[in-house]
Structure 1
């Protein structure tokens, strides 16, 4: 027993030592972009990578783990530049005003949607909103119904930003039946939610409710967190509500059943995890760890589950030369992670994108005022989306 413990400790030290070699000379933004886009060749791997993979494979063998590691592009980047979600364990009450009102804001929005759908019976079929997601089912994957946008690659410590916008884009696809590419750069420079050294999605969702963000075309991602928020850019991509899945204590992971229910009700979810050196080298299988961690360091998006695997399907933002396909399509960048492993599930949050074919009722704005939340100027319904969906009647019109 003593010998086994010593071996485990030695293996862990070897993995950490190998990983630390990448932090000697952090890459620039452009170098990181090129690194994550490049397909790694194990024959040309640095000695530190080879040592880390050898130690990782020994750990997997010894602990009978069910996943594989390999030379991913993420291994050529210091982990702290990839995993920089920083969520305070305690937040002032003012920081969560919109989240605390989230359920009521979402209810008002849903009632307006039902009213519009009643006046336009064909709408639900055109929106494909009533999808077959069932929280009691053995598995679900939002990609299979076309509601997940392509995997992206962060080029600095902005996993929190890509997590927020990844879940938002999926919600937009579900609620408007349109795939969009939103601007993480605009969020980085304007939302006051973090920097290239870290942040988290709560302030991003607040910003999407009160201001909105631009398209990727209007403000492409450069990873420059020092530039001013650009003026005179259209910000049509807004949210109506957001909230934590575990409303009793967001610092603890919700139960799997609660996460499944939220996935079906709201779509893909933002969540946190502890990404370690093993996570960084993941290439397939069901990831799990026997290591106990006290907190988290990385943001990812939960897009589905599989009870036979006992795992969540997550989408990462480290490009397509990391991870696996998750059993669907050819795009890599996904991981199966065991329920509860590496603290996955802490700060799990949902966001509801604003539907673009109706205006919310006055009660919505009144609730924002009651909670002392800035009231955004509400745009008119998008005529192109209304035409596509053939929305003929609107309440009060």
Structure 2
């Protein structure tokens, strides 16, 4: 009887191993693949174990996000070992409180939702790094794209100038795109080649760089998705969103069930596709994230609070 009991115990333990170990092994394998794919190099075994625990937690959250909506895919990304606090450092939108837009507010609405895609008019996707300078990247990309649509070819411009010289913003601690365009009304936007990005705020050096164009202020768009679609017909638009659930986004269309309403990140609206009824949004986390640096958000649901504050520069 004792032998039978031991055999039964071993069998039970074996069943428990089969029941529980695949998930653990799966996370182990995924973490190893993640390290290899993204060239991660941790300073110590302790740090590796710390990052692995974060990775596993993020994968569990990604699984929950996948269950919320089958139109999007969440999983392993370059940020899979980052905490929520670390991701917030990569955001940094801080509302300036300016809504007057020099008196201009765009209120036209779209009669039909035609396809719009300005990605071919945009410069290559940039990576802001760990500095909370999303607002500078959003302002610069919208300036470049809208100028390209309205005026023609333009050189790659300097996010670092926007970061250093927009005095009403807080550098890597956040800011707003309208502060950049206000500054550029009386200053030429420097080229990236003459004012390179460092990922930290420094003293303004715009007087010694190669300047190109300036703007004539900016326009706010009425906080409706129909108005945003109509305004998008004239070029890219800077927007602010809640990107709290974006770190593990891989592809597909996010819906309102996957996003919050706490604005924390500035990006650029660059298109709309009626096929999947989704916005195309340009991010500044590098081209290895999402859909070659972009994310799609479902139209008509105010997904991720996309209507919070759409604005664009004037020329």
The normalised TM-score by structure 2 is: 0.75
CA contact (8 A) 1:213 1:236 kept: yes
Q: Does 1:148 align with 2:148?
A: no
The alpha carbon displacement at 1:47 in A equals 3.1
CA contact (8 A) 2:65 2:258 kept: no
Separation of aligned partners in 2, 1:83 and 1:289: 20
Separation of aligned partners in 2, 1:224 and 1:73: 21
Over 3 Å counting, the alpha-carbon distance change for 1:175 and 1:261 in structure 2 is same
From 272, 291, 316, the counterpart of 2:240: 272
Q: Does 1:164 align with 2:139?
A: yes
CA contact (8 A) 2:238 2:269 kept: yes
Name the residue aligned to 2:79.
74
Separation of aligned partners in 1, 2:135 and 2:294: 17
In the TM superposition, structure 1's runs of 4+ consecutive aligned residues that sit over 6 Å from their partners are none
The alpha carbon displacement at 1:259 in A equals 0.7
Q: Unaligned regions of 5+ residues in structure 1, if any?
A: 1-37, 105-133, 247-253, 325-331, 355-397
The alpha carbon displacement at 1:294 in A equals 4.2
The alpha carbon displacement at 1:263 in A equals 0.7
CA contact (8 A) 1:310 1:338 kept: yes
Name the residue aligned to 2:269.
302
CA contact (8 A) 1:205 1:242 kept: yes
Q: Does 1:319 align with 2:286?
A: yes
Separation of aligned partners in 2, 1:168 and 1:234: 17
Q: Unaligned regions of 5+ residues in structure 2, if any?
A: 1-35, 41-47
The SS at the match of 1:219 is: coil
Q: Does 1:100 align with 2:76?
A: no
Q: Does 1:190 align with 2:165?
A: yes
Q: How does 1:284-363 map to 2 (within 5 A)?
A: 284-290=251-257, 293-324=260-291, 332-339=292-299, 340-352=302-314, 354=315
Name the residue aligned to 1:215.
191
Separation of aligned partners in 2, 1:315 and 1:264: 16
Separation of aligned partners in 2, 1:338 and 1:168: 25
The SS at the match of 1:160 is: helix
Separation of aligned partners in 1, 2:149 and 2:132: 28
Q: Please list the CA deviations of residues 275-315 of structure 1 after superposition, one character each: whole Å capped at 9, or x if unmatched.
A: 11x31110101012426744300011000012332221000
Structure showing greater Rg: 2
Name the residue aligned to 2:228.
259
Name the residue aligned to 1:40.
38
Separation of aligned partners in 2, 1:228 and 1:289: 40
The SS at the match of 2:208 is: coil
Over 3 Å counting, the alpha-carbon distance change for 1:153 and 1:274 in structure 2 is same
How many residue pairs end up in the alignment? 261
